[in-house]
């Protein structure tokens, strides 16, 4: 399987966040893509949760990781994953199907938000607009 990563927040190429710049140095952008779920604003960044019902496309990008073991290690740290303690991690990295703009469906790693979004506003339309960094 190809080591792919779906991003939907601060790592998007249009955001120009330093960690996104690092990602682009370690991966090749395959292009725009969507994933099914719901996107919520967490303030300075978004959180993607799986939709229990219905089809809700969340828009992002897919990257082909050149050295996945290296990239996923720092990405896990960036996303706040605590190894061996998923209850203390706000996100979890899982593999899910994503659809490229061409219509092709691939499997990619994605970071899903694990905490409650009950009081968080949903990002309608599934396109996250970042605050200035």
Nearest in space to 126 (alpha carbons), one of 36, 4, 17: 36
Please indicate, yes or no, if residue 123 is contained in any of the structural domains: no
CATH number of the domain within which 22 lies: 3.10.490.10
Please indicate, yes or no, if residue 128 is contained in any of the structural domains: no
Per the structure, the complete domain to which residue 19 belongs is given by: 4-117
Task: Count the domains in the chain.
Answer: 1
Gyration radius of the chain's alpha carbons: 14
In this prediction the pTM is 0.94
Over the stretch 61-119, which tens digit does the pLDDT of each residue have?
999 999 999 999 999 999 999 888 888 899 999 999 999 999 999 999 999 999 999 99
How does DSSP classify residue 44? S
Please indicate, yes or no, if residue 127 is contained in any of the structural domains: no
Please indicate, yes or no, if residue 132 is contained in any of the structural domains: no
Please indicate, yes or no, if residue 126 is contained in any of the structural domains: no
Please indicate, yes or no, if residue 68 is contained in any of the structural domains: yes
């Amino acid at each position: 399987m190809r080591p792919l990563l779906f991003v939907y927040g601060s790592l998007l190429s249009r955001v120009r966040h330093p960690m996104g710049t690092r990602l682009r140095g370690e991966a090749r952008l395959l292009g725009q893509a969507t994933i099914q779920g719901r996107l919520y604003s967490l303030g300075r960044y978004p959180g993607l949760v799986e939709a229990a019902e219905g089809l809700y496309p969340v828009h992002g990008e897919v990257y082909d990781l050149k050295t996945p073991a290296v990239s996923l290690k720092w990405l896990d740290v960036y996303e706040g994953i605590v190894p061996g303690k998923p209850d203390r991690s706000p996100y979890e990295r899982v593999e899910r199907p994503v659809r490229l703009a061409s219509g092709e469906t691939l499997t990619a790693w994605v970071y899903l938000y694990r905490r409650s979004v009950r009081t968080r506003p949903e990002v309608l339309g599934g396109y996250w607009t970042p605050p200035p960094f």
